[in-house]
């Protein structure tokens, strides 16, 4: 009977935590009082001095039951891998139903202690690896709760030339602004690449920037502990003295706050620029001016913010010699696709259409369509119809390769070609041919059996057609 009562109590708490009710809107720490809305604090924040500070009672809003519940729903929706404790997103609701009072109290008294993050390395498109730090799901919930309170208050103070990881802003907006600068005649770009930015953020510099805005010492202490949480990798926990690893909900906002000093410095000098996360392009009219800007901004980043500029990847060049967010800027402010973006797309297509994957053609096309739709949607503003036409032909040949190889032996291949209208006297020579699958896929017989209409019938996305639809919705 006691076990049944305990199960009933946990189930009831879980429902209270997950379901919105008016009773819970006043949550822990609110004491039934009314707190200023995010909009009210944001207005007072932006209307005050150059470096205003936020209220000292932010933790009450962060620990509010409704805010924690919203953070839980966001973390649950984002899914993601477990952290070092092995707790999955699925288990988080039950854990919070049992321990939400302990979590709330730890936040309110400033004693919340994050666990180490799980280090994961993923390959970077341009080579090398990117270090991710996966917090536990409970730490992700707390970071999300902090983000939900701080972001509405701080975002309005950031530069209008900053576009990355901000609500209501996107890479396409950054590209549109860059187009305007180029159309005005600023054909030289100062392309600054920060070396391993998220791994090299100086904790003291970042915390000093936060302390300009936040006076709640409980919150500052918890954020610093998140920054200093060890990283568990290769069976050992390594202390961290710098960096804010990608993988936590709070990292993008902290990165934007730090780099806002760069934005303000560029604005004070009257420069035209676009920044998306740590990717910053400054547009000038002459190469001499560009070299001067590169030298002074490099000194500012390394001296004031203690960040490293990758001198091998940074450059002063004509805009169409560089890429920005996967695009090339052309004369007159037109957009094109960067060659590296096309190569990365082909690499992904090769991965999906590997002939030894052992999956059906239908499943392969489903995966391929998912990628192709997203890819062409991202590049919909680029002038790239000829590239898409070539890519369509290349994708179709890859799939002809797969289809022919799946027939395995000569007789099934001939039967398929004959069913598709190829005469037997033409089908058999292809089946007996000793050339490779790629050459067979490009043969007249294969193209006749699997023309564009055949790919349309089996549901393959046509990039050119999709691009035209996006241009004229």
DSSP per-residue letters across 70-85: HHHHHHHHH-----TT
pLDDT of residue 53: 57
- HSE-up (13 A, CA, CB side) for residue 69: 20
347-371 mean pLDDT = 92
pLDDT band of residue 259 (cuts 50, 70, 90) is very high
199-250, pLDDT tens digit by residue? 889 999 999 999 988 889 999 999 999 998 888 777 777 777 788 878 889 9
pLDDT of residue 5: 52
433-449 mean pLDDT = 92
Check if the beta carbon of residue 205 is closer than 8 Å to that of residue 196.
Answer: no
Q: What is the mean pLDDT of the chain?
A: 86
SS (H, E, C) 128-181: CEEEEEECCHHHHHHHHHHHHHHHHHHHHHCCCCECCCCCCCCHHHHHHHHHHH
Check if the beta carbon of residue 176 is closer than 8 Å to that of residue 165.
Answer: no
pLDDT of residue 199: 83
**CA dist 150 → 74, 142, 252 (Å):** 16, 12, 12
151-185, pLDDT tens digit by residue? 999 998 999 999 999 999 999 999 999 999 999 99
Residue 350 pLDDT exceeds 90 = yes
| Count of residues making up the chain | 473
Question: Which of the pair, 17 or 308, is modelled with greater confidence?
Answer: 308
- Residue 318 pairs in a beta bridge with 188
pLDDT band of residue 21 (cuts 50, 70, 90) is very low
DSSP code at position 239: P
DSSP per-residue letters across 325-387: TTEEE-GGG-EEE-HHHHHHHHHHHHHHT-TTS---HHHHHHHHHHHHHHHHHHTTTS--HHH
Check if the beta carbon of residue 250 is closer than 8 Å to that of residue 206.
Answer: no
Q: Rounded CA gap, 445 and 439, in Å?
A: 11
Output b/e per residue, 352-366; b: 16+ Cβ within 10 A: bbeeeeeeeeeebbe
Residue 140 pLDDT exceeds 50 = yes
Q: Which of 126-130, 150-154, 183-187, 335-339 has the lowest mean pLDDT?
A: 126-130
Task: Find tokens 């920005």 and name the residue.
Answer: 324
Question: Which of the pair, 10 or 335, is modelled with greater confidence?
Answer: 335
Share of the chain above pLDDT 70, in %: 87
Q: Which of 142-146, 356-360, 377-381, 438-442 has the lowest mean pLDDT?
A: 356-360
Q: Rounded CA gap, 258 and 240, in Å?
A: 18
Q: Tell me how many degrees the CA angle 158-164-165 measures, rounded to the nearest 5.
A: 90
Stretch (H or E) spanning 106: helix 89-108
pLDDT of residue 471: 85
Contacts of 225 (CB under 8 A, 6+ apart): 112, 113, 114
Rounded to an integer, what is the distance from CA 345 to the centroid of its chain? Answer: 17
Question: Which of the pair, 99 or 146, is modelled with greater confidence?
Answer: 146
Q: Rounded CA gap, 454 and 302, in Å?
A: 57
Q: Rounded CA gap, 264 and 51, in Å?
A: 12
**CA dist 236 → 118, 198, 239, 252 (Å):** 10, 21, 10, 26
Share of the chain above pLDDT 90, in %: 64
Check if the beta carbon of residue 250 is closer than 8 Å to that of residue 239.
Answer: no
- Residue 132 pairs in a beta bridge with 120, 246
Stretch (H or E) spanning 189: strand 188-193
Backbone angles phi, psi at 337, to 5 degrees: -90, 130
Question: Which of the pair, 251 or 32, is modelled with greater confidence?
Answer: 251
Q: Which of 59-63, 125-129, 306-310, 317-321 has the lowest mean pLDDT?
A: 125-129
Q: Rounded CA gap, 278 and 310, in Å?
A: 12
> Which two structure tokens, joined as six digits, stand for 144?
């999300």
365-370 mean pLDDT = 96
Task: Find tokens 């710098």 and name the residue.
Answer: 242
Check if the beta carbon of residue 333 is closer than 8 Å to that of residue 183.
Answer: yes
Q: Rounded CA gap, 436 and 434, in Å?
A: 7
388-424, pLDDT tens digit by residue? 999 999 999 999 999 999 888 999 999 999 999 999 9
Check if the beta carbon of residue 242 is closer than 8 Å to that of residue 201.
Answer: yes
pLDDT of residue 2: 52
pLDDT of residue 97: 86
pLDDT of residue 283: 97
Report the largest interatomic distance among the alpha carbons of the chain, rounded to a whole angstrom.
87
pLDDT of residue 127: 64
Check if the beta carbon of residue 300 is closer than 8 Å to that of residue 263.
Answer: no
36-50 mean pLDDT = 41
Q: Which of 34-43, 116-125, 128-137 has the lowest mean pLDDT?
A: 34-43
Number of other CB atoms surrounding residue 469 within 10 Å: 12
Residue 367 pLDDT exceeds 90 = yes
């Amino acid at each position: 009977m006691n076990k049944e009562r305990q199960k009933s109590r946990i189930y009831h708490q879980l429902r209270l935590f997950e379901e919105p009710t008016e009773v819970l809107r006043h949550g822990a720490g609110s004491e039934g009082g009314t707190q200023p809305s995010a909009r009210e604090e944001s207005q007072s924040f932006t209307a005050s001095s150059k470096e205003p500070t936020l209220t000292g009672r932010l933790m009450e809003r962060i620990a509010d039951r409704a805010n924690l519940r919203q953070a839980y729903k966001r973390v649950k929706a984002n899914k993601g891998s477990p952290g070092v404790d092995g707790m999955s997103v699925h288990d988080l609701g039950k854990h919070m139903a049992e321990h939400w009072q302990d979590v709330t109290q730890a936040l309110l008294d400033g004693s919340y202690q994050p666990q180490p993050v799980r280090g994961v390395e993923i390959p970077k498109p341009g080579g090398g690896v990117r270090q991710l730090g996966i917090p536990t799901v409970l730490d992700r919930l707390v970071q999300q709760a902090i983000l939900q309170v701080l972001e509405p208050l701080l975002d309005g103070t950031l530069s209008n030339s900053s576009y990355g990881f901000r609500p209501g802003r996107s890479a396409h907006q950054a590209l549109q602004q860059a187009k305007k600068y180029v159309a005005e005649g600023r054909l030289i770009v100062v392309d600054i690449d920060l070396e391993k930015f998220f791994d090299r953020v100086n904790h003291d510099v970042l915390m000093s920037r936060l302390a300009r805005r936040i006076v709640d010492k409980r919150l500052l202490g918890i954020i610093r502990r998140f920054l200093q949480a060890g990283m568990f990798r290769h069976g050992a926990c390594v202390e961290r003295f710098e960096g804010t690893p990608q993988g936590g909900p709070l990292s993008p906002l902290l990165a934007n706050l730090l780099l806002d000093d760069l934005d303000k410095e560029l604005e004070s000098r009257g420069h035209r620029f676009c920044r998306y996360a740590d990717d910053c392009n400054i547009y000038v009219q002459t190469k001499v001016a560009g070299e001067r800007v590169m030298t002074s901004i490099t000194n500012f980043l390394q001296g004031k913010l203690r960040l490293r500029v990758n001198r091998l990847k940074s450059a002063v060049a004509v805009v169409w010699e560089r890429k920005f967010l996967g695009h090339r800027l052309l004369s007159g402010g037109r957009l094109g696709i960067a060659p590296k973006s096309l190569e990365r797309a082909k690499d992904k297509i090769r991965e999906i259409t590997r002939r030894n994957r052992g999956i059906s053609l239908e499943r392969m096309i489903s995966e391929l369509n998912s990628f192709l739709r997203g890819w062409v949607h991202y590049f919909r503003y680029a002038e790239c119809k000829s590239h898409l036409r070539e890519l369509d032909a290349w994708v179709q040949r890859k799939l002809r390769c797969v289809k022919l190889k799946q027939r395995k032996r000569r007789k099934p291949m001939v039967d398929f070609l004959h069913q598709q209208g190829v005469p037997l006297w033409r089908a058999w020579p292809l089946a007996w041919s000793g050339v490779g699958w790629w050459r067979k896929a490009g043969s007249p017989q294969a193209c006749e059996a699997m023309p564009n209409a055949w790919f349309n019938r089996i549901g393959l996305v046509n990039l050119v057609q999709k691009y035209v639809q996006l241009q004229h919705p």
